[in-house]
Amino acid sequence: MAAQRRAGPGGGERRRPAGGKARAGGTAPGRGWALRGAAPGAALLGSAVLVGGLLGWSLPGGRQGGAEVLARGSEAVRDRFVEVACSGDYGAGRRFEGCTPRKCGRGVTDAVITREEAERIRRIAERGLSFGGSDGGASILDLHSGALSMGKHFVNLYRYFGDKIQDIFTEEDFALYRDVRRRIQEKIAQTFGISSSAMYLTKPTFFSRINSTEAKTTHDEYWHPHIDKVTYGSFDYTSLLYLSDYAEDFGGGRFVFMDEGSNKTIEPRAGRVSFFTSGSENLHRVEKVRWGTRYAITISFTCNPEHSIGDPVLT
Given candidates 255, 275, 295, 301, which one binds ligand AKG under the rule CB under 6 A? 255
Q: Cβ of residue 35: shortest distance to ligand AKG, in angstroms?
A: 8
CA distance 284 to 298: 14
CA distance 222 to 286: 7
Q: Please, which residues bridge with residue 147 across strands? A: 156
- Catalytic-residue membership of 178: no
Given candidates 280, 298, 302, 304, which one binds ligand AKG under the rule CB under 6 A? 298
Around Cβ 24, how many Cβ atoms within 10 Å?
12
Task: Give the number of residues in contact with ligand AKG, rule: CB under 6 A.
Answer: 10
Q: Which is nearer to Fe ion, 117 or 228 (CB)?
A: 228
286 binds ligand AKG (CB under 6 A): yes
CA distance 141 to 118: 16
CB-CB contact of 32 with 265 (8 Å): no
**Site residues (CB under 5 A) for Fe ion?**
228
Q: Which is nearer to ligand AKG, 94 or 265 (CB)?
A: 265
Q: Cβ of residue 17: shortest distance to ligand AKG, in angstroms?
A: 23
CA distance 114 to 109: 10
Q: Quick one: which H or E segment has residue 159?
A: helix 157-161
Q: Which is nearer to Fe ion, 12 or 30 (CB)?
A: 30
Given candidates 68, 228, 245, 281, which one binds ligand AKG under the rule CB under 6 A? 228
Angle at 265 (CA atoms; ends 308, 292), nearest 5 degrees? 85
Q: Cβ of residue 277: shortest distance to Fe ion, in angstroms?
A: 12
121 binds ligand AKG (CB under 6 A): no
CB-CB contact of 271 with 110 (8 Å): yes
Q: Cβ of residue 227: shortest distance to Fe ion, in angstroms?
A: 8
The catalytic site residues sit at 294
